[in-house]
C-alpha cells in the first residue's frame, strides 16, 4: 500500500515569506506527527494530531508555526514570516492509533531552504 | 528536558567488522526505538524495546534495553556495506504525550567493502 507522502519534496523561499507543507498519511491512520530535522541532528518533535485535533503542540517553536488537519487525514504545516533558521527537513509520520508502542511510518520529508 | 545522547557520532569500518553504538539518557523511557535513515528518506523503524533488560535480535543486529530503561545499545555483527546509514534512537516520553518521540542526534555509519 501507499506510504506517507509529502509535498513538495523541496521548497526554496525568501526570508519573510509564507510556506505550506503538506502531508498525506497512510490511509486509516488516526495519528499524525510533524518533526523537524536540521543538518546533523535527529528529528525534533513539533506537533501530534489524533484525528482532527492537535493532541500535543508543545514542540512548535513559536507562533509563526501552525498546523491543521481539518478532516483527520491530510495535514498542512504552515510557517509565517519564514526565517533562515527555519531551514531544515520537515518530516511527517503517521501511526494507526497513536499508542506509544505503535510504529510511526515516516514520509521522505520536505527540504525547506529559506534564503 | 529529556535528552538522548548517541555515541559515537561517526563510525567508519571495513566490511566484516563488528560494531556497537550506544544511546544514553539520565531519564527513564517507557519504550525505546531504533531507526535507520538513508539520505533523502525518512527514518525506518528497526525495533522497539519496552521491558528493562530486553534483548531483541534482527538478523545480524542485536538491540538491548538497559535494566533501568535509560539506555540502549545496537550491536551489528559482520557489518556489510548495505548497513551504511544513519542510526537513530528515539525514546517515548514516560508518562508524557504518546506522540512525543525524543530522538538522539544519530550515529552515521559507513561500511566500506
**Closest by Cβ to B97, choosing from A42, A55, A101:** A55
Local confidence band at A43 (pLDDT 50, 70, 90 cut-offs): very high
- What is the DSSP code string of B16-63? T--EEEEEE-SS-EEEEEEEEE-TTS--EEEEEE-STT-EEEETTEEE
Tens digits of residue pLDDT in B68-108: 999 999 999 999 999 999 999 999 875 555 567 889 999 99
Q: What is the mean pLDDT of chain A?
A: 94
Whether residue B42 and residue A58 make contact (CB cut-off 8 A), yes or no, is no
pLDDT (0 to 100) of residue B30 = 84
Local confidence band at A53 (pLDDT 50, 70, 90 cut-offs): very high
Q: In chain B, what percentage of residues exceed pLDDT 70? A: 93
Whether residue B100 and residue A103 make contact (CB cut-off 8 A), yes or no, is no
Local confidence band at A2 (pLDDT 50, 70, 90 cut-offs): confident
Contacts with A104 from chain B: Cβ below 8 Å: 45, 101
Cα A77 from Cα B47, distance rounded (Å) = 28
Tens digits of residue pLDDT in A69-87: 999 999 999 999 999 999 9
Q: Which residue of A has its CA nearest to B88?
A: A42
Q: Which three cell numbers stand for residue B80?
A: 556489510
Angle at A52 between CA B35 and CA B36, to 5 degrees: 5
Integer CA distances (angstroms), B63 to A41, B26, B59, B82, in order: 22, 19, 11, 18
Contact A90, A77 (CB under 8 A): yes
pLDDT (0 to 100) of residue B100 = 74
Residues of A with CB under 8 A from a CB of B: 4, 31, 33, 35, 40-45, 48, 50, 55-56, 58-59, 91, 93, 98-101, 103-109
Amino acid at each position: 500500500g501507499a506510504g506517507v507522502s509529502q509535498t513538495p519534496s523541496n521548497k526554496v523561499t525568501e526570508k519573510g515569506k509564507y510556506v505550506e507543507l503538506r502531508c498525506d498519511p497512510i490511509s486509516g491512520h488516526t495519528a499524525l506527527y510533524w518533526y523537524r530535522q536540521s543538518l546533523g541532528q535527529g528529528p525534533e518533535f513539533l506537533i501530534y494530531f489524533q484525528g482532527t485535533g492537535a493532541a500535543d503542540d508543545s514542540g512548535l517553536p513559536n507562533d509563526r508555526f501552525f498546523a491543521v488537519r481539518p478532516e483527520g487525514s491530510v495535514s498542512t504545516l504552515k510557517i509565517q514570516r519564514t526565517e533562515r533558521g527555519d531551514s531544515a527537513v520537515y518530516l511527517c509520520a503517521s501511526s494507526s492509533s497513536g499508542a506509544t508502542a505503535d510504529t510511526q511510518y515516516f514520509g521522505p520529508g520536505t527540504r525547506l531552504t529559506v534564503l | 528536558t529529556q535528552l538522548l545522547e548517541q555515541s559515537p557520532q561517526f563510525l567508519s569500518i571495513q566490511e566484516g567488522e563488528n560494531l556497537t553504538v550506544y544511546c544514553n539518557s539520565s531519564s527513564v523511557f517507557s519504550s525505546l526505538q531504533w531507526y535507520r535513515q538513508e539520505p533523502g528518506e525518512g527514518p525506518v523503524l528497526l525495533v522497539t524495546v519496552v521491558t528493562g533488560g530486553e534483548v531483541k535480535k534482527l538478523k545480524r543486529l542485536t538491540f538491548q534495553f538497559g535494566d533501568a530503561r535509560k539506555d540502549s545499545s545496537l550491536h551489528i555483527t559482520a557489518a556489510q556495506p548495505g548497513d551504511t546509514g544513519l542510526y537513530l534512537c528515539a525514546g517515548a516520553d514516560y508518562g508524557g504525550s504518546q506522540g512525543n518521540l525524543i530522538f538522539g542526534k544519530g550515529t552515521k555509519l559507513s561500511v566500506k567493502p
